[in-house]
């Protein structure tokens, strides 16, 4: 089973939260408590995310994503559990992808539970905030959760929109915010897939948060091999069978090339 983190999307122009040294970058993510309790918190999030969404929506899968899909096709890896919310694994051709933290392209109402597409919400936000999109040229760094840095004096004038169904509902991207729990059935399914696979390949994750690290602990507890490919220290280094410090795109592409070369002309039994 593959467990991927933000590091696999950096070559698509989406930075991770930590550098190669494992130190957190300056921008802290929105917490669920602040978002759900504070209208100003939601205003700040949606103003920044409204601009950052274009970068996420137009990001293309990179060599690492395509290599994971190729490894699936070769039968080397099975399901992909990703901590990312950008759906780039699917865009890169991977199948059987479990979005552990949800996806940014779906929006949910915290009050009535109705879901809608992110594109529908973006159209409504654009209509409610004419001229705001002009700021997109000033956008710099986009965080893995799709928001950008904006000054408070810019955020204060941003108009929110409510749920189409209940009119006043609080809208939230259908992703797991910091301080929020991954749904238990989703976690249980990931454990089941890991037990079926009997081995874990971690790609581009520092494993700092428990939502991903628990699968490394589970694998180590059951004696499953754990291979980590990440340019930096990780929380799971002590449990890893092997930690490869290498760029994901280049190293995974080379792995695919070697596997394809090894299987060309090989007898079916040997290939298996």
Q: Can you read off the two tokens belonging to residue 145?
A: 């959760």
SS3 content of the chain, % helix, strand, coil (to 5): 45, 15, 40
CB contact set of 106 (below 8 Å; sequence gap of 6+): 115, 116, 117, 118, 173, 174
The span from the CA of 156 to the CA of 161, in Å, is 14
Output the tens digit of pLDDT for each of the chain's 272 residues. Answer: 999 999 999 999 887 765 544 444 445 678 999 999 999 999 999 998 998 888 889 999 999 999 999 999 999 999 999 999 999 999 999 999 999 999 999 999 999 999 999 999 999 999 999 988 777 556 555 666 667 777 778 888 899 999 999 988 999 999 999 899 999 999 999 999 999 999 999 999 999 999 999 999 999 999 999 999 999 999 999 999 999 999 999 999 999 999 999 987 655 444 43
Q: Can you read off the two tokens belonging to residue 222?
A: 């059951």
CB 173 within 8 A of CB 38: no
pTM of the model as a whole: 0.88
Superfamily grouping for domain 2-263: TPP-binding domain (3.40.50.1220)
Per the annotation, where are the binding residues? Answer: 109, 112, 163, 166
Q: Which residues are catalytic?
A: 101
Per the annotation, where are the binding residues for Zn(2+)? Answer: 109, 112, 163, 166
Which ranges of the chain would DSSP assign to H, the alpha helix? 32-37, 39-57, 63-73, 88-91, 118-128, 152-155, 184-197, 210-221, 248-263, 268-271
């Amino acid at each position: 089973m593959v467990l991927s983190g933000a590091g696999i999307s950096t070559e698509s122009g989406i930075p991770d939260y930590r550098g190669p040294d494992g130190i957190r970058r300056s921008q802290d993510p929105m917490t669920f408590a602040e978002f759900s309790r504070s209208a100003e918190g939601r205003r700040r999030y949606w103003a920044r995310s409204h601009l950052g969404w274009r970068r996420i929506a137009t990001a293309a899968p990179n060599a690492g994503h395509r290599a994971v899909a190729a490894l699936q096709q070769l039968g080397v890896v099975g399901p992909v559990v990703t901590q990312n919310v950008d759906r780039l694994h699917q865009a890169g051709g991977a199948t059987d992808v479990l979005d552990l933290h949800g996806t940014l392209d779906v929006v949910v109402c915290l009050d009535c539970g109705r879901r809608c597409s992110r594109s529908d919400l973006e159209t409504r936000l654009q209509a409610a905030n004419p001229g705001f999109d002009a700021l997109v040229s000033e956008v710099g760094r986009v965080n893995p959760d799709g928001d950008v840095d904006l000054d408070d004096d810019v955020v204060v004038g941003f108009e929110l929109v409510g749920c189409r169904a209940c009119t006043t509902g609080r809208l939230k991207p259908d992703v797991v915010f910091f301080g929020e729990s991954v749904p238990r059935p989703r976690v249980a399914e990931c454990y089941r897939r890991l037990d079926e696979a009997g081995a874990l390949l971690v790609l581009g994750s520092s494993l700092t948060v428990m939502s991903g690290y628990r699968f490394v602990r589970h694998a180590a507890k059951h004696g499953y091999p754990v291979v980590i490919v990440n340019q930096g220290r990780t929380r799971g280094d002590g449990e890893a069978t092997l930690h490869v410090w290498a760029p994901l795109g280049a190293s995974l592409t080379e792995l695919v090339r070697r596997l394809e070369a090894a299987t060309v002309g090989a007898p079916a039994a040997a290939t298996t």
